[in-house]
Structure 1
């Protein structure tokens, strides 16, 4: 069994969670970390095993979108192979990706009955990690594959993340992102909670409030013990970046130093090119510093801002989507780390 320092870190999140700013911190660790940026989106949106309906169909427009991405041949197995082969010269793999890329979305036929992606199923002799007494795996990856990673979670209040995502799906920004319309089921909170709860049930991760006989991280008789739950709320990250990053490093076995929080603007961001328009703020940043102001607005004030930016109908869509995801956000938030 590999020591913790050799286990890939997988930061699972949802869109517009400030996750790319978080990721940039670890991109400064070029000597000991190999950062992999949102890899499963290739298979989720564009490949033959795609789960998303955004580029689904045989019509010319959908097919052109898949081909233009450069990932129309990507499968879940090819993505996995690329990830697990990416560690070079002893560097630990660090992945940041959307949990929703691993869990069938609400408009997919397999939403409530996930099965392994065909390429992964063939490679693992058809096993999705199911056992007689085990909960059904809600993802398209076998449990044995999920156990290869040390998971952490990053969340953000839906009333902040949803309007930010909506902005990426409407003019003028959608000319750059290529996402020509907003899909509420891409919010990602349901899938993040589904993954979290499954990993808890399978004892891949643990939290004292959910287990009476918890065990510490590490190994026993060659079997990996559950990792301590690590959930980061974006507000805490923005208010106290040093303390949050330091605590995250302690929990994942990554050495911390303050220089991680500074970098050169536009430096080393080539991997962000495949998702143009979504990461411009993070690309242009030069460090992660405590925010000096934090707007506290009422729900009425937030909605009025959405009306002014996008119109009454769009504001209604944003608010409904945020409200629909609030319960899952609050559930995950109760496990957030404190600093």
Structure 2
């Protein structure tokens, strides 16, 4: 079979730095409908979240969360390491290139940044990053040097509200006061990466997850223009993932069940959910004043980073 002619096509990988509860699965699924892209779904996840080197075991958490991480989750921890996932990622990118396609990958920001950075930045606003070299992530150096970055953000009020509700609903022991929660909702990591890429002469494509639903056409046009992808190849509907292809891991499956069952982009009535005062009242009623105060603090802490990044969104 003749090899595709890629001489005039930009096959540099595209990498989306995203976070949980920011419609990251929907965004990735939507762009993956392009026939020009080869999806590489969460290439670091199994090492960062469910491997022996998982970052959360170094967090400062409550005794309940620590027990969950160090005892309750042990039967579900795999053998994947950052090194083994990097090797697989390199092979996936090379495989996409041989097919004449662009490797299109995504990962939650806290899973892809190196663990000392994740905790160092969270604990110390003056934490120095200058000694960590040109690649602060677990993405293999050759891929990191070539990738075209995208950053997916979400307004802190609905983002923090959704994140906290979801970890409780699925039975995780993360609560206000646990360092893990602060890390899961941080937009500071995004801002750091954004500024770092710009300093390298690489302008990240910033997308607000709200716009994926209510400015779809305009945002899609801009994304395709920035990345050189044909807009006509994208589809807003798709076939649900067959049952046999869905994740079966008991910890991972609850996070992905909705997107694997989805048939496309659905647009409910646009919610009015960005008012911190109203959100705070609901948090007090649902979680108590102490937890509500901490959630409010997290919103106020992350708003400057979100607003900064919003200036550059497509």
User: How would you bin the TM-score normalised by the shorter chain?
Assistant: 0.7 to 0.9
C-alpha distance in structure 2 between counterparts of 1:276 and 1:187, whole Å: 21
CA shift for structure 1 position 253:
2.0
Question: Contact 1:44 / 1:51 at 8 angstroms: preserved in 2?
Answer: yes
User: Does 2:88 match 1:82?
Assistant: yes
- In structure 2, what is the equivalent of residue 94 of structure 1? 104
Tell me which protein shows more helix as a share of its residues: 2
242-251 or 288-297, which deviates more? 288-297
Q: 2:219 aligned with 1:244, yes or no?
A: yes
User: Could you tell me which residue of structure 2 aligns to residue 262 of structure 1?
Assistant: 237
For 1:159 and 1:231, the matched residues in 2 are separated by 19
Aligned equivalent of 1:28: 33
1:173 to 170, 175, 183: 170
CA distance in 1, matches of 2:68, 2:290: 30
- In structure 2, the gaps of 5 or more residues are 1-5, 176-180
Q: Deviations over 1:283-306 (max 9, x none)?
A: 332211444433256322222222
CA change 1:192–1:240 in 2 (3 A) is: same
Query: Deviations 1:215-253 (Å, cap 9, x if unpaired)?
Result: xxxxxxxxxxxxxx3111112212122321232122112
Partner in structure 2 of residue 226 of structure 1: none
- Aligned to 2:265, the other structure's residue is in SS state coil
In the TM superposition, 1:293-312 aligns within 5 A as 293-295=270-272, 298-312=275-289
> What is the RMSD computed on CA atoms of the aligned residues?
3.5
Distance 1:283 1:64 in 2: 27
Structure 1 residue 282: Cα displacement: 2.5
Match status 1:191 vs 2:189? yes
Q: Which deviates more, 34-43 or 151-160? A: 34-43
TM-score, normalization: structure 2? 0.77
8 Å Cα contact 1:36-1:95 kept in structure 2: yes
Between 1 and 2, higher relative CO (CA 8 Å, sep ≥ 6) is seen in 2
* Matched position secondary structure for 2:22: coil
Q: Tell me if the contact between 1:129 and 1:143 (Cα under 8 Å) persists in the aligned partners.
A: no
Partner residue of 1:323? 300
Paired residues in the alignment total 289
| CA distance in 2 between partners of 1:268 and 1:247 (Å) | 34
Residue pair 2:155, 2:274 contacting (<8 A) in 1 also: no
Provide the C-alpha distance between the structure 2 equivalents of 1:2 and 1:269, rounded to a whole number of angstroms. Answer: 37
How many angstroms apart in 2 are the aligned matches of 1:113 and 1:297?
A: 33
Q: Shift in Å at residue 158 of structure 1?
A: 0.8
C-alpha separation between the residues in 1 aligned to 2:278 and 2:122?
Answer: 38
Query: Given the two structures, how large is their TM-score scaled by the length of structure 1?
Result: 0.72
CA contact (8 A) 2:152 2:208 kept: yes
1:6 to 5, 11, 30: 11
2:80 counterpart residue number? 73
Relative to structure 1, is the Cα distance of residues 115 and 4 closer, same or farther in structure 2, using a 3 angstrom cutoff? farther
Structure 1 counterpart of 2:23: 18
What stretches of structure 1 of length at least 5 have no aligned partner? 117-127, 131-136, 207-228
